[in-house]
Structure 1
Amino acid sequence: MHIRGVLTVIAAGVILSGCVTESSYKQAQEIVRGSPAMKRDAINKCYSGASRASPARKAEMAKIMNVSPRSNVARTYCTRAFNGIASGRITYEDFRTKSPRFIRVIQGR
Protein backbone atom coordinates (compact mmCIF):
# COMPACT_ATOMS: atom_id res chain seq x y z
CA MET A 1 0.00 0.00 0.00
CA HIS A 2 1.30 3.46 -0.83
CA ILE A 3 2.20 5.80 2.00
CA ARG A 4 -0.73 8.12 1.30
CA GLY A 5 -3.03 5.10 1.24
CA VAL A 6 -1.86 4.03 4.68
CA LEU A 7 -2.45 7.52 6.04
CA THR A 8 -5.89 7.65 4.47
CA VAL A 9 -6.81 4.36 6.14
CA ILE A 10 -5.56 5.61 9.51
CA ALA A 11 -7.33 8.96 9.05
CA ALA A 12 -10.55 7.13 8.30
CA GLY A 13 -9.90 4.84 11.24
CA VAL A 14 -9.47 7.80 13.58
CA ILE A 15 -12.92 8.95 12.55
CA LEU A 16 -14.73 5.66 12.20
CA SER A 17 -12.63 3.16 14.16
CA GLY A 18 -12.48 1.17 10.95
CA CYS A 19 -10.39 -1.83 10.13
CA VAL A 20 -6.83 -0.75 10.69
CA THR A 21 -4.25 -3.43 11.23
CA GLU A 22 -1.52 -3.08 13.83
CA SER A 23 1.07 -3.19 11.07
CA SER A 24 -0.54 -0.37 9.06
CA TYR A 25 -1.02 1.64 12.28
CA LYS A 26 2.68 1.33 13.17
CA GLN A 27 3.67 2.23 9.62
CA ALA A 28 1.49 5.33 9.67
CA GLN A 29 2.76 6.20 13.15
CA GLU A 30 6.36 6.21 11.90
CA ILE A 31 5.37 8.28 8.88
CA VAL A 32 3.61 10.99 10.90
CA ARG A 33 6.33 10.91 13.55
CA GLY A 34 9.05 11.55 10.97
CA SER A 35 7.33 13.87 8.52
CA PRO A 36 5.50 17.01 9.64
CA ALA A 37 4.15 17.43 6.10
CA MET A 38 2.63 13.94 6.14
CA LYS A 39 1.18 14.55 9.61
CA ARG A 40 -0.49 17.73 8.32
CA ASP A 41 -1.81 15.74 5.35
CA ALA A 42 -3.20 13.03 7.65
CA ILE A 43 -4.85 15.64 9.90
CA ASN A 44 -6.41 17.28 6.84
CA LYS A 45 -7.75 13.93 5.55
CA CYS A 46 -9.15 13.15 9.00
CA TYR A 47 -10.68 16.62 9.19
CA SER A 48 -12.37 16.32 5.81
CA GLY A 49 -14.19 13.24 7.09
CA ALA A 50 -14.84 14.39 10.66
CA SER A 51 -16.22 17.73 9.51
CA ARG A 52 -19.09 15.84 7.83
CA ALA A 53 -20.29 14.46 11.17
CA SER A 54 -23.81 15.38 12.19
CA PRO A 55 -24.30 18.39 14.46
CA ALA A 56 -25.39 16.00 17.23
CA ARG A 57 -22.19 13.93 16.86
CA LYS A 58 -20.05 17.09 16.86
CA ALA A 59 -21.80 18.29 20.03
CA GLU A 60 -21.11 14.91 21.66
CA MET A 61 -17.46 15.07 20.60
CA ALA A 62 -17.18 18.61 21.97
CA LYS A 63 -18.44 17.44 25.37
CA ILE A 64 -16.01 14.53 25.48
CA MET A 65 -13.12 16.77 24.43
CA ASN A 66 -14.06 19.62 26.80
CA VAL A 67 -14.27 22.22 24.04
CA SER A 68 -17.01 24.61 22.99
CA PRO A 69 -19.48 23.19 20.47
CA ARG A 70 -18.90 26.41 18.53
CA SER A 71 -15.19 25.62 18.18
CA ASN A 72 -13.77 23.68 15.27
CA VAL A 73 -14.42 20.32 16.96
CA ALA A 74 -13.39 18.19 13.98
CA ARG A 75 -10.04 19.98 13.53
CA THR A 76 -9.29 19.80 17.26
CA TYR A 77 -10.14 16.08 17.39
CA CYS A 78 -7.99 15.20 14.39
CA THR A 79 -5.06 17.34 15.51
CA ARG A 80 -5.05 15.90 19.03
CA ALA A 81 -5.47 12.34 17.77
CA PHE A 82 -2.65 12.54 15.22
CA ASN A 83 -0.35 14.36 17.62
CA GLY A 84 -1.00 11.53 20.10
CA ILE A 85 -0.33 8.89 17.46
CA ALA A 86 2.88 10.61 16.33
CA SER A 87 4.18 11.07 19.87
CA GLY A 88 3.43 7.47 20.84
CA ARG A 89 0.94 8.50 23.52
CA ILE A 90 -1.77 6.62 21.61
CA THR A 91 -0.88 3.00 21.01
CA TYR A 92 -2.57 0.73 18.51
CA GLU A 93 -4.57 -0.87 21.32
CA ASP A 94 -5.63 2.56 22.65
CA PHE A 95 -6.68 3.54 19.15
CA ARG A 96 -8.57 0.30 18.53
CA THR A 97 -10.47 0.30 21.83
CA LYS A 98 -10.77 4.05 22.39
CA SER A 99 -9.17 3.47 25.79
CA PRO A 100 -9.10 5.96 28.66
CA ARG A 101 -5.62 6.97 27.46
CA PHE A 102 -7.05 7.76 24.01
CA ILE A 103 -9.80 9.84 25.65
CA ARG A 104 -7.25 11.75 27.77
CA VAL A 105 -5.23 12.60 24.66
CA ILE A 106 -8.21 13.89 22.70
CA GLN A 107 -9.20 15.89 25.78
CA GLY A 108 -5.84 17.61 25.58
CA ARG A 109 -4.54 16.12 28.84
Structure 2
Amino acid sequence: MQKFPAVLSVALLLAGCAMSSTQFDATREALRGSPPLRQQAIADCTANQARRSLQARQDAARVMNVSVRAMPRTICTRLVAGWSSGRLSYDDYRSAMVGSMTPNTVRIIQGR
Protein backbone atom coordinates (compact mmCIF):
# COMPACT_ATOMS: atom_id res chain seq x y z
CA MET A 1 0.00 0.00 0.00
CA GLN A 2 1.15 3.49 -0.83
CA LYS A 3 1.01 6.28 1.73
CA PHE A 4 -1.26 9.12 0.65
CA PRO A 5 -2.24 11.30 3.60
CA ALA A 6 -5.46 13.17 4.21
CA VAL A 7 -6.33 14.03 0.59
CA LEU A 8 -7.81 10.64 -0.16
CA SER A 9 -9.13 10.18 3.34
CA VAL A 10 -11.11 13.40 3.14
CA ALA A 11 -12.47 12.48 -0.26
CA LEU A 12 -13.58 9.06 0.90
CA LEU A 13 -14.92 10.28 4.20
CA LEU A 14 -17.68 12.21 2.42
CA ALA A 15 -20.03 12.06 5.37
CA GLY A 16 -17.49 13.32 7.90
CA CYS A 17 -17.23 10.25 10.13
CA ALA A 18 -15.82 6.74 9.94
CA MET A 19 -18.26 4.12 8.69
CA SER A 20 -18.86 0.50 9.48
CA SER A 21 -19.05 -2.00 6.65
CA THR A 22 -22.85 -1.93 6.88
CA GLN A 23 -22.93 1.88 6.69
CA PHE A 24 -20.48 1.83 3.78
CA ASP A 25 -22.68 -0.64 1.85
CA ALA A 26 -25.88 1.24 2.70
CA THR A 27 -24.33 4.49 1.51
CA ARG A 28 -23.24 2.74 -1.69
CA GLU A 29 -26.84 1.70 -2.33
CA ALA A 30 -28.11 5.20 -1.60
CA LEU A 31 -25.52 6.71 -3.98
CA ARG A 32 -26.30 4.11 -6.62
CA GLY A 33 -30.03 4.86 -6.52
CA SER A 34 -30.01 8.64 -6.23
CA PRO A 35 -28.35 10.87 -8.83
CA PRO A 36 -29.08 13.98 -6.69
CA LEU A 37 -27.34 12.34 -3.71
CA ARG A 38 -24.31 11.50 -5.89
CA GLN A 39 -24.15 15.10 -7.10
CA GLN A 40 -24.41 16.42 -3.53
CA ALA A 41 -21.68 14.02 -2.35
CA ILE A 42 -19.43 15.18 -5.21
CA ALA A 43 -20.15 18.85 -4.45
CA ASP A 44 -19.45 18.47 -0.71
CA CYS A 45 -16.31 16.45 -1.35
CA THR A 46 -15.10 18.95 -3.98
CA ALA A 47 -15.51 21.83 -1.53
CA ASN A 48 -13.48 19.91 1.06
CA GLN A 49 -10.77 19.06 -1.44
CA ALA A 50 -10.50 22.66 -2.63
CA ARG A 51 -9.63 23.67 0.95
CA ARG A 52 -6.68 21.25 1.14
CA SER A 53 -3.20 22.74 1.09
CA LEU A 54 -1.67 23.53 -2.27
CA GLN A 55 0.96 20.84 -1.66
CA ALA A 56 -1.69 18.19 -0.95
CA ARG A 57 -3.61 19.17 -4.09
CA GLN A 58 -0.42 19.10 -6.16
CA ASP A 59 0.48 15.65 -4.82
CA ALA A 60 -2.97 14.28 -5.59
CA ALA A 61 -3.03 15.89 -9.05
CA ARG A 62 0.31 14.26 -9.86
CA VAL A 63 -0.97 10.80 -8.89
CA MET A 64 -4.20 11.37 -10.82
CA ASN A 65 -2.58 12.81 -13.95
CA VAL A 66 -4.76 15.94 -13.87
CA SER A 67 -4.18 19.64 -13.30
CA VAL A 68 -4.21 21.01 -9.77
CA ARG A 69 -7.26 23.05 -10.72
CA ALA A 70 -9.17 19.96 -11.89
CA MET A 71 -8.08 17.74 -8.99
CA PRO A 72 -10.83 18.46 -6.41
CA ARG A 73 -13.79 17.71 -8.64
CA THR A 74 -12.04 14.89 -10.49
CA ILE A 75 -11.00 12.94 -7.41
CA CYS A 76 -14.47 13.27 -5.93
CA THR A 77 -16.25 12.31 -9.15
CA ARG A 78 -14.04 9.25 -9.60
CA LEU A 79 -14.34 8.11 -5.99
CA VAL A 80 -18.10 8.55 -5.81
CA ALA A 81 -18.46 6.68 -9.10
CA GLY A 82 -16.17 3.92 -7.82
CA TRP A 83 -18.05 3.70 -4.55
CA SER A 84 -21.52 3.63 -6.09
CA SER A 85 -20.51 1.10 -8.76
CA GLY A 86 -18.96 -1.27 -6.24
CA ARG A 87 -15.41 -0.91 -7.60
CA LEU A 88 -14.26 0.82 -4.39
CA SER A 89 -14.33 -1.77 -1.64
CA TYR A 90 -14.71 -1.35 2.10
CA ASP A 91 -11.09 -2.54 2.44
CA ASP A 92 -10.02 0.26 0.06
CA TYR A 93 -11.95 2.73 2.20
CA ARG A 94 -10.46 1.41 5.48
CA SER A 95 -6.93 1.65 4.05
CA ALA A 96 -7.58 5.26 3.06
CA MET A 97 -8.77 6.05 6.57
CA VAL A 98 -5.33 5.14 7.93
CA GLY A 99 -3.53 7.12 5.22
CA SER A 100 -2.74 4.33 2.75
CA MET A 101 -3.94 3.61 -0.76
CA THR A 102 -4.57 0.22 -2.26
CA PRO A 103 -3.62 -0.46 -5.89
CA ASN A 104 -7.34 -0.56 -6.66
CA THR A 105 -7.84 2.92 -5.23
CA VAL A 106 -4.96 4.24 -7.33
CA ARG A 107 -6.64 2.81 -10.45
CA ILE A 108 -9.95 4.42 -9.51
CA ILE A 109 -8.55 7.90 -8.86
CA GLN A 110 -6.50 7.67 -12.06
CA GLY A 111 -9.68 6.94 -13.98
CA ARG A 112 -8.59 3.45 -15.02
- Which contiguous aligned blocks of 4+ residues in structure 1 show a shift greater than 3 angstroms? 15-18
Whether 1:29 and 2:36 are equivalent positions in the alignment is no
The gaps in structure 1 that reach 5 residues or longer are 1-10
Which residue of the other structure, out of 84, 104, 110, is the alignment partner of 1:101? 104
Report the TM-score, using the length of structure 2 for normalisation: 0.79
1:35-62 superposed Cα distances (whole Å, 9 cap, x missing partner): 1111101111111111100000000000
Instruction: Spell out the pairing of 1:47-66 with structure 2 (5 A cutoff).
Output: 47-66=46-65
Q: Deviations over 1:65-96 (max 9, x none)?
A: 11122x32110000000000011110111122
Q: Contact conserved, 1:13 with 1:20, CA < 8 A, in 2? A: no
- TM-score under structure 1 length normalisation: 0.81
Give the CA deviation at 1:101: 0.3
RMSD between superposed Cα atoms in Å: 2.1
Q: 1:81 to 1:62 in 2, by over 3 A?
A: same
Gaps of 5+ in 2: 1-8, 96-100
> What fraction of aligned residue pairs are identical, expressed as a percent?
35
Q: How many residues align?
A: 98
- The answer for the alignment partner of 2:76 in structure 1 is 78
